[in-house]
Structure 1
Amino acid sequence: MKKKRILSLDILRALALVLICVYHWTLFKGTYIGVVIFFALSGYLVTSGLLSRDFSIFSVISRRLKKIYPSLLIVILASTIALYFVNNGLEMKYKYSALFSVLGLNNIYQIFSKMSYFDNFGIILPLTHIWALSFLIQMYVFFPVLVQGLKKLKLKDYTMGSIFLAISVISGLVMAYIFYATSKSSEGADFSRIYYGTDTRAFSFFCAAGLACFYSRREIKSNVEKKIVYVLGILGIVSIIVFSFGIDYRNALNYYGLMFLVSILFSFSIVLFSKPELKKFDISKYNKILDPVIRLGQHQYQYYLWQYPVMIFAREYFKWSKLSNSQQFCIQFIVLIFISELSYYLFEKKSIKYISYPILASIALILVFSPIYENKDLEEMKAIQEALASNEKEEKNNTPPVSTAPTTPAVNTGDKPLTMDELLNALNTPSKSMEEDTKMQNEILKKYPNDERDIIFIGDSVLHMTREDLKKKYPKAIIETKVGRQFYQLPNMLKSLSQDGKLRKIVVIALGTNGTIYEKDMKSVLETLKGHDVYFINTVMPDPWQDSVNAEIKKAGENPNIKVIDWYSYSKGKQEYFYKDGTHPKPNAAKRYINLIYSVLSKDILNQTK
């Protein structure tokens, strides 16, 4: 007899899906908490199902995997074929990612390969999100064995629930310890290890499993107990909402118990939504209103599988486009609905049998026999970054040589002097050929002095890749660049620079590539930099937070002491300027980047030569 579906839990599934999709699209605050909802729902439902009957371990595991794998394999196959045609080959990193996704070990592979949502510029990795499904596959294989073993010991539900809660506490402590231990290192906390680890994420599953032992097989009769569950269940929903809007993934509280607390509270939400005696209203009465949400929850597996690959390939396709993020999102959204609903119809509703075997064979053949794609762009970019890092280290260890560069204009009396307007037009107007344009600009700039004012440049990997050219143009400047730096780190960094006496009158900031700029962080920066001349360089990238970053920078430019250097308008859509990631400028474009900075920042110096 088929078990009646609990529609209220489909609403929670839909909530989880929406939060996860929002996080993938925007990296917004704490919306990654949607994964906790998925894990908790799985823990509660799997446990209640296993407790209610005698079962064969093999049949339970087999039935679960048969539901999971057809859709999973078709997503892996589609991603593999699409990536093959995009790159004319497959990177080894992707081949391993696909292989371990098939094996249900994607999260383990991502830990060892240091993969994440944030730092894979230039690499197309459409299976990164499969880490969560791999975790659940591991639970679906391991957990029935554990429950069967505890049943053979003839333990009561309450005792089993206590054991599961103890396991959840241990998992939470492991997460806290690893965060503490790795955050002490020079590289900072190892978020890949914390975020993807089976041991560090198991607490959400086992919290809900423990409560399933306490509540799934008995009716709650006590009014006091009903009130407790009701209050804690409501707090669980509230905690999800507050967490989504307020807790960045780098927040230490997350790993010192906050995520564990949310898991416990939300597990009570599952009890509240699933127990008939606790329901305050009949959801079926609101079917017309809630039907789209319930349907989304029922189809959430397909949407979860397809959303990330659709986003990744759309981002690649629109990388050089000037379509706004909202326009790109609308296209993605339509494609996602079509593919997900078709996939649901074929692989869940119709339950196509035996399809897994030919798909698996196809994946194996492509992974084995496809040529290895060598990402030369990425290799060149990394080589430049490594050379810059080596030069920077050498500079710190050695006394810098005395510069032989002239500090006054190299006057050529045979040339007619350029006016200020002619110079700025030459600096800011691209010609038909980037090579010709760069050569012409360099000839012009030779006629003018370097800007030897005390300036500090603060940036991420984009500014870092222009470091050598920047030093030539601004020999007395302090250049503080770091790969992976985010804007939220800037307020504390500015305070530290001020205390060390390194904060200059003129401050140039090039951040926003690695994550969004929040209003509170911008306000803090502007407050610290009152009385300074501040220049923000806006961003060019295919990531969804590009528009919001540039909008925040534009808004900051309304302040009288703030100016914006518009790299976006200057370079967006010019494929020849960038490496394959669509973010980091190639060497010739890096010179143009510096020239653009110079044309805005050094107008007063240029005016002296008129």
Structure 2
Amino acid sequence: MKTENNNYGKQKNYIQGIDGIRAFSVLMVVAYHLKLPFAKGGLLGVTIFFVISGFLITRILLPEIARTKTIDFKNFWIRRLRRLLPAILTMVTALIFVSAIFNRVLFTKTCSDVLSVILGYNNWWQIFNDVSYFENAGAPSPLTHCWSLAIEAQFYLIYPLLLIFLAKFRNRKRNTILITFILALISIVLMWALFDPSKDPSRVYYGTDTRVFSLLIGALLALISEDGKVNSEKTTHYWDVIGVVLFVGLLYMMVMIDGYSSFLYRGGQAIASIMTALIIFSVMSENSIFGRVMGIFPLKWIGDRSYSIYLWHYPIILLISGGKKSSWWIILVEVLLTGVVSAISYQLIETPVRHGIIKKNIDIIKAHPRTRGERRRQIRTIRRSIKTVFVITIIGITAIVCIAFVPREKSLNDIEKLQVQAQKAKKLTEQKTSSTNEKTTNQDASKDATVAYQTDEEILESLNLLLIGDSIALGATDEFYAAFPNSICDAAVSRYTTESFAIYGSYVNEKGWNGDGVIFALGSNGLLYDSLGTLREMLGADRPFFIITARAPYASWEESNNKEIYEFAEATDNTYLIDWYKASEGHSEYFVGDETHLTDEGCKAYIDCIRAAVLQVYKK
């Protein structure tokens, strides 16, 4: 993850404790993407990086603005591009070659995201990119994590302009602090207001306007501490204690709070940002013991390479394990490979370019040598530069050819068939809804008296169940109606768990449904939030409630959703488990390429799993 380091290591006011904060943050992000159990909220590491970036970049700009009332944007952006682009281009190029050979699905997703990553608008590309649900199935794009780099790039473009504008007025510092605070507050409110758990949270999670408050909070810290007056010797140790407590609090949030929790969107991210700013303030004093501990060599080594680690870890994880939960030895391979590749990138690409090797070589080539030694040095530099440019050109052309001509492949090859199936299932459900409600009244009177003498098929035929599902259940609609001819399957693509309330309410209040039980077949597209408890209450105590566990190995919420389902079914009366996760374990033949949606054999097994659980209840 990118945080501005510039030449702080050579400056007197270099803050060594930031290296440790950065190191812990990137490690938690990596752990989150590895699906390690102690990093449920590891994506907060990105929030911490935003604060650090906002602080450091503002801290770099303020002295120049104080002296000149302006910013040398040419020099500023040359430094930013030298810091950002070489590593990104190297990572993207390597990813194109490797994925084209070993994983065409990831290659296809990489190609669609390349331009947005290089030009710094990947976050908005992910928000507005009109790609169907089925095309997005399976592992995410290996460039998805670059959304945060895009937000930083946009901040670097806009915020310096604001600083220059405010520098034209009297009371520059006071006005800048006030405006920055107001903008941060607006951003926090926007995240709170725009977040809706019943909808895709991408707009809130990736939006520059809804995430920039973390960078602005970092900028506020830089503005407040602009005069260089930080903790005195008397207060340093008090701030050490505060910093340690807040740091432990941040780690607690990353360990215990799920990364998609409503709390994070409704104040949690802002709290984490403020805590980070206070932690940075606590280590700013040269006398800070906490700062010295956070600056020890192992943490500094990781912190210096945090940008490289952030860039490389996600493509490596997706290429090796697809982002699914893996065995310990695969995780070890992914971690070691990330460390090695990041170290090479940092040493051979980022550091030389950041220190101006390109300009130095150009100056040597353009110089007029005065001695034979200088002439030999110039010739060596020219030869080396020609070879380097030739190799880079060949690699670049080859990468472009790969993008243009290597065949693409999607997780779901038969997307059109799935979409047609969705339309067919919708019409069939509408027909079933009207016909099923008419039959229910006639069947209710005799059902209880005869159930003991019915066969399994007769029991299932007599039931009027309502299945509320997503695209997994949608694919098995025909099989569902074959097993439950008088029940209803209301399933749709990309349906969120909290949509179940309105769906159930519409059946009861508008369509007059008064059936025998509800099957909850959601949980693959997002967190459960309060869906289970709310829907259970809406059903009433007497109506059976069946809950299907999720099989979505690429989703970060699969494990937490299933855990909640197990616990809820165990603890709640008249609530029953349909364990599709367990029933499908080890059966790759049940799934298409995304390992979530069902093959014909998978549809049959899915309905058999439901059938067995329902019979077990109604035979009693």
TM range (shorter): 0.7 to 0.9
Name stretches of at least 5 consecutive residues in structure 1 with no aligned partner.
408-422, 424-444
1:119-146 CA-partner distances (Å, limit 9, x unpaired):
9323641111101001112222333444
SS in 1 for 2:283: helix
Q: After the TM superposition, which residues 20-419 of structure 1 pair with which residues of structure 2 at under 5 Å, given as runs?
A: 20-26=29-35, 30-53=41-64, 56-86=72-102, 88=104, 94-113=110-129, 120-122=136-138, 124-151=140-167, 156-179=172-195, 183=196, 188-189=198-199, 191-220=201-230, 237=247, 240-241=250-251, 243-244=253-254, 254-255=264-265, 257-276=267-286, 279=288, 281=289, 283-284=291-292, 290-316=296-322, 325-326=327-328, 328-349=330-351, 351=353, 358=393, 361-373=397-409, 376-392=413-429
Match of 2:379 in 1: none
Q: Is the 8 A contact 2:545 2:574 kept in 1?
A: yes
- Taking the aligned partners of 2:421 and 2:124, their CA distance within structure 1 comes to 30
- Taking the aligned partners of 1:58 and 1:296, their CA distance within structure 2 comes to 30
SS in 1 for 2:43: helix
Q: Which amino acid aligns with 1:468?
A: D
- Taking the aligned partners of 2:263 and 2:584, their CA distance within structure 1 comes to 40
SS in 1 for 2:593: coil
1:144-172 CA-partner distances (Å, limit 9, x unpaired):
44434444557643333333223323333
Match of 2:605 in 1: 592
- Taking the aligned partners of 2:437 and 2:513, their CA distance within structure 1 comes to 21
SS in 1 for 2:144: coil
Against the structure 1 CA distance between its residues 583 and 401, is the aligned structure 2 distance closer, same or farther, given a 3 Å change threshold? same
Q: How far has the Cα of 1:505 moved from its partner?
A: 5.7
- Taking the aligned partners of 1:539 and 1:260, their CA distance within structure 2 comes to 31
SS in 2 for 1:602: helix
Against the structure 1 CA distance between its residues 275 and 148, is the aligned structure 2 distance closer, same or farther, given a 3 Å change threshold? farther
Q: Is the 8 A contact 1:454 1:476 kept in 2?
A: yes
- Taking the aligned partners of 2:619 and 2:232, their CA distance within structure 1 comes to 82
Match of 2:17 in 1: 8
Q: Tell me whether 592-601 or 468-477 shows the greater mean CA deviation.
A: 592-601
Q: After the TM superposition, which residues 359-508 of structure 1 pair with which residues of structure 2 at under 5 Å, given as runs?
A: 361-373=397-409, 376-392=413-429, 450-485=460-495, 508=519
Q: Which amino acid aligns with 1:307?
A: H
Q: How far has the Cα of 1:209 moved from its partner?
A: 1.0
- Taking the aligned partners of 1:157 and 1:252, their CA distance within structure 2 comes to 35
SS in 1 for 2:489: strand
- Taking the aligned partners of 2:104 and 2:278, their CA distance within structure 1 comes to 50
Match of 2:369 in 1: none
Q: Which amino acid aligns with 1:3?
A: Q
Q: Which amino acid aligns with 1:137?
A: A
Q: How far has the Cα of 1:343 moved from its partner?
A: 2.5
Against the structure 1 CA distance between its residues 229 and 600, is the aligned structure 2 distance closer, same or farther, given a 3 Å change threshold? closer
Q: Tell me whether 327-336 or 468-477 shows the greater mean CA deviation.
A: 327-336
- Taking the aligned partners of 1:169 and 1:247, their CA distance within structure 2 comes to 23
- Taking the aligned partners of 2:264 and 2:524, their CA distance within structure 1 comes to 24
Match of 1:430 in 2: none
1:392-423 CA-partner distances (Å, limit 9, x unpaired):
45666x667999xxx9xxxxxxxxxxxxxxx9
Match of 1:580 in 2: 593
Q: Is the 8 A contact 1:536 1:563 kept in 2?
A: yes
- Taking the aligned partners of 1:194 and 1:145, their CA distance within structure 2 comes to 25
Q: Is the 8 A contact 2:19 2:304 kept in 1?
A: yes
Q: How far has the Cα of 1:324 moved from its partner?
A: 5.2
Q: Is the 8 A contact 1:19 1:31 kept in 2?
A: yes
The alignment of Structure 1 onto Structure 2 pairs a total of residues equal to 551
Against the structure 1 CA distance between its residues 90 and 260, is the aligned structure 2 distance closer, same or farther, given a 3 Å change threshold? closer
Name stretches of at least 5 consecutive residues in structure 2 with no aligned partner.
1-6, 359-387, 444-454
Q: Which amino acid aligns with 1:300?
A: S
1:17-40 CA-partner distances (Å, limit 9, x unpaired):
233334434496544322221111
Identity %: 27
Q: Is the 8 A contact 2:106 2:141 kept in 1?
A: no
TM-score between both structures, scaled by the size of structure 1 = 0.74
TM-score between both structures, scaled by the size of structure 2 = 0.73
- Taking the aligned partners of 1:532 and 1:154, their CA distance within structure 2 comes to 69
- Taking the aligned partners of 2:248 and 2:294, their CA distance within structure 1 comes to 22
Against the structure 1 CA distance between its residues 18 and 460, is the aligned structure 2 distance closer, same or farther, given a 3 Å change threshold? farther
Q: Is the 8 A contact 2:103 2:319 kept in 1?
A: no
Q: Is the 8 A contact 1:26 1:545 kept in 2?
A: no
Q: Tell me whether 110-119 or 304-313 shows the greater mean CA deviation.
A: 110-119
1:354-376 CA-partner distances (Å, limit 9, x unpaired):
67954655544433343444652
SS in 2 for 1:260: helix
Q: Is the 8 A contact 2:166 2:172 kept in 1?
A: no
Q: Tell me whether 450-459 or 561-570 shows the greater mean CA deviation.
A: 561-570
Q: Tell me whether 260-269 or 72-81 shows the greater mean CA deviation.
A: 260-269
- Taking the aligned partners of 2:252 and 2:113, their CA distance within structure 1 comes to 34
1:68-95 CA-partner distances (Å, limit 9, x unpaired):
1111112212222233234558877643
